[in-house]
Structures are given as C-alpha cells and as structure tokens.
A and B are shown apart, each in its own frame.
Chain A
C-alpha cells in the first residue's frame, strides 16, 4: 500500500481547479478558475512551481497540446489528476469535512 502525499492548501486549490476544468486545464484556465472561485489571483510563479512540484510527486500528470498563433506558436501544457492525486485530494477534503462536522459556518451559530 502506497503512502498518500499530504497536500498544502494551495495544492488543494489547484487540484480542485484542475478537476473543475476537466480536459481544458492548462496554466491560463487554471489561473482564471482559481481567481473566479476564490477572488484571489495566484502569482504565476507560485502556480507553475506548485504544478511542477505536484508532477514530481506524481499527484498530477501533464502533456503538451496544441499551439496557437496568439501564444507565439508555443504549445499548451495540460494537466490532469493522477489516481494518487485524486486519492490524496479526497483524503485532505475528508479531513476538512470532519473538522467542519458540527459547525454551521455558513449562517449558523459559528458564522
């Protein structure tokens, strides 16, 4: 049995954005999805180093896609979660959920 990687907060945000985007997850779309959902635009350096680190850990995989003229003929790098990445994300989110259990943060006594 392999040990699941522990995920930081930003790693989880990036993984959730990739999941939401599905087949069209690459640098630009991941960044705008995070900005739209969290109202915080991630620094480009932070995003790319996080993606590289997660790829090295085997949490995400990437492949090169099509190049467009507006990108100066440079290929897009698409991302998707690996099985290990999905399992690590589920584990992290389950931990959040169990911490939230009993707390009614959205409009309850703890709001």
Chain B
C-alpha cells in the first residue's frame, strides 16, 4: 500500500512543502468517503495540473536551442555577416548572450507567464538586442537600442524586485556558459576522435557533417546546455522570486 507521504513528496516537487501538505491533507480528509482509487487519481490530477508547464517549457526551450544553434551556423541569414564574428571574436559572446536571452524568454514565458518579472526583464532586454542585430548597419537604431538596453539595466539595478530578476538572468547566463562551453569542448573532442585531422583541410568539414553520429552529438550537447540552464532558472526563481509567504507562516490567521 502506497503511503500518502509519497504523494505529498511528489506534489512538493512542484509547489511549496506546506502547500503540498495541505493539498494532500484535503484529499486524505475525503478519502474515507471516496476511496483509495479516487485519492490517487485526484493526486495524479493535482500533480498534472501543477507540473504541466515545466516539461512544456523545457521542450520549447530545447527546440528553440536546436533552432538557434542551426541559426548560428548561418549567421548571414540573420542579417549580420559571419565574417564579423571571425574578425571580432567577442561577437560570439554577444551572440551567445542573445540566444540565451531568447531562451530564457521562451522558458520563463511558458513556465511562469508574462506577469513574471524575469520574463518581463528578459523581454525588455531581448527587444533592443534583437533590433541591434537586425539593424546593426543603421547607427541611429544602434544608438537607440544601446540607450534602451542601458536604461533597462539601470532600472533593474535600482528596483529591489527587478534586481532579483536580473540576478536570476545573470545566473542562468552563467550556467549557460558554464554548461555550454564544456559541452562544446566535449563535442569538439569527439569530432577530433571520429575525424582525426585538422578541420581546415579541404573537404574535412563535409566529412565530419556526413558522419551519422554528428547530429546526435550536437543534440546531446544542446540538451545538456538547456538542462543546465533550466535547472539554474528553476532553482534561482524558486529561491528569489517565488512568494513563499505561506511556507514561512506558523499557522494562525493573524500571521497572515
């Protein structure tokens, strides 16, 4: 016979511990009248209701990561010359930050909604950054975007709640770099292993791309990076942004 504590543990994975306890308590109160099957089915429905956003947000972020990675291979299609990235290596950092912003926007918009401060901050930074990339040849737009981006950063530093959202974004970006760079390094090592010749040799790139395992390696690399970033986002959001007032209350109406 399964213990209700297992159900409580499952619910608490997606909501606060005291909230989970009160939900399971409610269901336990009705269990003698409605039966064990009803209890477990109701618990499963509660878990589904509180948890569906997380896998959906992860899948959307993962799909976006795969799309962004393929976009990075052909930067010309995004309106900026790939040569620019070769001439100025720091541009790659900017590109990575740009993709991370979009990634966080997709993930937080689905998981926490548009009212969430992290989503709003990501949106506020994504708009000028995207405009900067698409209209980088127009100085007036570049200056306006930089000014707008600067204002968003200053505003997020000045406000206490937005500062927390900025910290979440910062940690997710750090986790993205921290998870993405080793993943890229490992993928590179693997490519050297399957085709142990310098990449600049003519036709070598095509030979690498033709290998059946390469797309899987890229997929695993993106998966690992996305997982690192979503885990960081969930932990930081839970720690800094969630209203856990209930879980800190001691149990009287006056405390509320």
Q: Which chain A residues have a beta carbon within 8 Å of chain B's beta carbons? A: 26-28, 31, 43-46, 48-49, 52, 55-56, 61-68, 70-72, 74-78, 80
Contact = CB atoms under 8 A, between A and B. Distances in A.
A44 B243 contact: no
Interface residues of B, number: 32
Given A27-B22, A71-B28, 20 more contacts: A43-B45, A43-B49, A45-B46, A45-B50, A46-B49, A48-B49, A49-B49, A49-B50, A52-B19, A52-B50, A64-B249, A64-B251, A70-B28, A71-B29, A72-B28, A74-B21, A74-B25, A76-B25, A76-B26, A77-B22
B237 to A, nearest CB: 13
Interface string B213-256: 00000000000000000000000000000010010011111011
A76 B22 contact: yes
A67 B222 CA distance: 47
> What secondary structure prevails in chain B residues at the interface with A?
helix
B49 A75 contact: no
A48 B50 contact: yes
Nearest to A53: B113
A62 B246 contact: yes
Given A27-B23, A28-B26, A75 B256 contact: no
A33 B10 CA distance: 27
A68 B28 CA distance: 11
A45 B252 contact: no
30 contacts: A27-B22, A28-B26, A31-B26, A44-B26, A44-B27, A44-B45, A45-B45, A45-B47, A45-B48, A45-B49, A48-B23, A48-B46, A49-B49, A52-B19, A52-B50, A61-B256, A62-B256, A63-B246, A64-B22, A70-B28, A71-B28, A72-B4, A74-B21, A74-B24, A74-B25, A75-B251, A76-B25, A76-B26, A77-B22, A80-B256
